[in-house]
Amino acid sequence: MGKDEILELKDKIDFQNLPKHIAIIMDGNGRWAKDRSLPRTSGHQEGMKRVVDIVEATNNLGVEYLSLYAFSTENWKRPKKEIDALMKILVFYIRNELDKIHKNNIKIKIMGDISLLPKVPRKEVEKAIEKTKNNSKMVLNIGLNYGSRDEIIRSIKNILEDVNLGKIDKDDINVELFSKYLYTKDIPDPDLLIRPSGELRLSNFMLYQIAYTELWFSDIYWPDFKEEYLYKAILDYQKRNRRFGGI
């Protein structure tokens, strides 16, 4: 797609009806690489470039929250070489992009238990959170060692602990209170979930939060997910009639 066509697409977006929170399951890096007879890690490297592009594009549009699934609780099952490469790419991303992210007033948040990450990526992530903590234009919420079932079980344990400590009463537990125990406690539920790569599943991503989220799937592999696909997803979203269970 040419530059003019992309701008035309962008111009069609109704800025009064922008999704406040977009969540993305970045998938297809491995298949993108396989199609080119490249190692899977090349797919992840190219995928990282799309992270740079899409963070910039969402921030420019005025989207307030962007959640990205970068590493799941199940991704530890991958070969050590691939895990090491993913961690290196994460470190490279932060080292290269943090100043720009900060300048663009983006706040980095993490969903997932980062205490289990190797030391170097953990330190980089902690530095990024600390440096950007007072930023206010967009929240970049990265899922790292994140799994929705793990998050829900962790929340239940924390709620039980607070009930036992007398901080809350069993009868106080409702949808709103439960949300406050999730990693996303300060973040509204996603309005739009994007999953490229042709897979039609949720893969343990934000299951509690996406109860009323609009889903958008595409066959494009994540390393090919240029900004025009983001605009297409938003335009489709703007045609949806969201009822939240009402009529």
List contacts with ligand FPP (CB under 6 A).
26-31, 44, 47-48, 51, 68, 70, 75, 86, 89-90, 93, 142, 222
190 contacts 22 by C-beta, under 8 angstroms: yes
Residue 19 or residue 28: which is nearer to ligand FPP going by CB? 28
Residue 52 or residue 235: which is nearer to ligand FPP going by CB? 52
**Minimum distance between the CB of residue 91 and ligand FPP, rounded to whole angstroms?**
9
Based on the residue annotation, tell me whether 27 is a catalytic residue of this protein.
yes
Q: Tell me the C-alpha distance between 45 and 35, whole Å.
A: 15
Tokens linked to 188: 């509204």
**Minimum distance between the CB of residue 197 and ligand FPP, rounded to whole angstroms?**
6
Residue 48 or residue 63: which is nearer to ligand FPP going by CB? 48
Residue 44 or residue 159: which is nearer to ligand FPP going by CB? 44
Q: Which residue is nearest to ligand FPP (CB)?
A: 30
Catalytic residue among 27, 59, 145, 204, which? 27
Residue 155 or residue 197: which is nearer to ligand FPP going by CB? 197
**Minimum distance between the CB of residue 22 and ligand FPP, rounded to whole angstroms?**
14
**Minimum distance between the CB of residue 29 and ligand FPP, rounded to whole angstroms?**
4
197 contacts 219 by C-beta, under 8 angstroms: yes
Based on the residue annotation, tell me whether 14 is a catalytic residue of this protein.
no
**Minimum distance between the CB of residue 233 and ligand FPP, rounded to whole angstroms?**
17
Catalytic residue among 75, 113, 135, 162, which? 75
* Catalytic positions: 27, 75
